[in-house]
Chains A and B, each alone.
Chain A
Amino acid sequence: NAGVMQNPRHLVRRRGQEARLRCSPMKGHSHVYWYRQLPEEGLKFMVYLQKENIIDESGMPKERFSAEFPKEGPSILRIQQVVRGDSAAYFCASSPPGKSNTEAFFGQGTRLTVV
């Protein structure tokens, strides 16, 4: 059973470009969470999704950021018109359906660098 897969592992974008980060949850997992880790800081919750639904996006910046988890395929975190301050590690985690308080498994992260 493969773990949570994130790609790419490293992404370099110029200011103003778009960044797309992908997350394939563990097999059988239908809950996906995105977190952001800014340099020298802890992880901050961004968004919680289930298949085709955004459950909680209270941690998402109001502009330029969006997330989806379609019926088929990976979850996507999309950042439009990136700025230097978006440079961070973005982690995805997944957990199985049915239980609200259970272990979330993390991917290796995507390290975004905006130049």
Chain B
Amino acid sequence: AQSVTQPDIHITVSEGASLELRCNYSYGATPYLFWYVQSPGQGLQLLLKYFSGDTLVQGIKGFEAEFKRSQSSFNLRKPSVHWSDAAEYFCAITDSWGKLQFGAGTQVVVTP
């Protein structure tokens, strides 16, 4: 059975500092992985996705993620966070039907 784990429930980072959000997955075959962001009271916006090919994926808003099969990880990074990056971030995996299984989410707080 597939699963996604986000070990960090809550992260606080200073504006301008780098950010890394962890995501580990369990899946028997090549996974299809996503990172979504949810601002308070809003829906989910796709930041980036990995289906195949280059293991370093560039997304919107300056985010990138690296797929590491050996570590079963798909960590999200941003070199320099902005106050507007405060939100909740979800890692997700999809099966052959396309339905998504989400991690529990990581709440990011950005301090001045």
A101 vs B32: C-alpha distance when bound (angstroms) = 7
A115 located at the interface, meaning its Cβ lies under 8 Å from any Cβ of chain B in the complex = no
- CB-contact partner of A41 in B97, B99, B101, B104, under 8 A: B104
Residues of A within 8 A of B (CB): 4, 31, 33, 35, 41-45, 48, 55-56, 91, 93, 95, 99-109, 111
Q: Is the CB of B98 within 8 A of A101?
A: yes
How would you classify the secondary structure of chain A's contact residues: helix, strand, loop or mixed? Answer: strand
Q: Using a CB–CB distance below 8 Å, which chain B residues touch chain A?
A: 32, 34, 36, 41-46, 49, 51, 90, 94, 96-105
Contact B96 A101 (CB under 8 A): yes
Query: In the complex, are the beta carbons of A100 and B96 less than 8 A apart?
Result: yes
- Please determine whether A103 and B43 come into contact, CB atoms closer than 8 angstroms: no
Instruction: Give Cα A109 to B36, complex, Å.
Output: 15
Question: A55 contacts which chain B residues (CB < 8 A)?
Answer: 97
Check if A101 sits within 8 Å of B94, measured CB to CB.
yes
A103 x B49 contact (CB < 8 A): yes
